[in-house]
Chain A
Amino acid sequence: EVQLVESGGGLVQPGGSLRLSCAASGFIFSNFDVHWVRQVTGKGLEWVSSIANSYDTYYADSVKGRFTISRENEKSSAYLQMNSLTAGDTAVYFCARAGAAAVGYGSFDIWGQGTMVIVSS
């Protein structure tokens, strides 16, 4: 079964750091780009960051300089290192697999269940 499982969310104080993980299974991880998308409770979806299978990385302006995306193909995993967190980063964070060429690399065809990040003192 094709699957993504996020972990690492939790409660962190403003200014703190957190590292999210996304474990993939059921497909050849190294062939696919990976995205992180977040959603404030009751609100819409916001793209956060992407890492290509070439290791090129992309970030939303709202997290640039604070968040770092990475991947370890040997572990079929992707990560999102989040530093200097603020209350505005409180959200559910989803990792998502990018579609193959036909579907589009900027499409999100497989999603994890999400992990909650709460930034509060």
Chain B
Amino acid sequence: DIQMTQFPSSLSASVGDRVTITCRTSRSISNFLNWYQQKPGKAPKLLIYSASSFQSGVPSRFSGSGSGTDFTLTISSMQPEDFATYYCQQRYTVPYTFGQGTKLDMK
């Protein structure tokens, strides 16, 4: 199985801050990496697929980068609605695996 290491596990930020979350995989997955946002009591929402492609309707302040084993999700300027938990996920091979999650809360 491909192991996912996501960090930090939690992060305190303020509105307007630039935030970066990192995801590392145990072996190369090319660009087969997705990012999801989950708010409490809700289902996850796909934000970024194929490492850097925006899902429809996702604000441009979100961006993804990386390939191989190292990936990042960046929020260029935190907005109140962005405080949530974020997960990376590899779709390179079954079993699909997720990172442990990064909880963004307000400083």
Q: Could you say which residues of chain A place their CB within 8 Å of the CB of B91?
A: 104-107
Q: Are B96 and A109 in contact, CB atoms less than 8 angstroms apart? A: no
B interface bracket (residues with beta carbon within 8 Å of A): 20 to 34
CB-nearest residue of chain B relative to A110?
B46
Q: B63-107 CB contact bits vs A (8 Å, 1 = yes)?
A: 000000000000000000000000101111011111111000000
Given A47-B97, A60-B95, A111-B45 in contact, is the A104-B50 Cβ separation under 8 Å? yes
Q: Confirm or deny: A58 has a beta carbon within 8 angstroms of a beta carbon on chain B.
A: yes
Alpha-carbon distance A111/B34, docked complex (angstroms): 15
Q: Could you say which residues of chain B place their CB within 8 Å of the CB of A47?
A: 95-98
Given A60-B95, A105-B91 in contact, is the A113-B50 Cβ separation under 8 Å? no
Q: B32-57 CB contact bits vs A (8 Å, 1 = yes)?
A: 10101010001111100110010100
Between A and B, how many residue pairs show CB distances below 8 Å? 66
CB-nearest residue of chain A relative to B6?
A44
Q: Could you say which residues of chain B place their CB within 8 Å of the CB of A106?
A: 32, 90-92, 94, 96
CB-nearest residue of chain A relative to B42?
A113
Q: Are B100 and A44 in contact, CB atoms less than 8 angstroms apart? A: yes
Can you list 14 contacts pairing A with B, beta carbon distance less than 8 Å? Answer: A44-B87, A45-B89, A45-B98, A47-B95, A96-B43, A107-B34, A107-B46, A107-B89, A108-B36, A108-B44, A108-B46, A109-B46, A109-B55, A112-B43
Known: A104-B34, A108-B89. 8 other contacts (CB 8 A): A45-B36, A99-B46, A106-B32, A106-B90, A106-B96, A108-B34, A109-B55, A111-B43
Chain A positions near chain B (C-beta within 8 angstroms): 35, 44-47, 50, 58, 60-61, 94, 96, 99, 103-109, 111-114
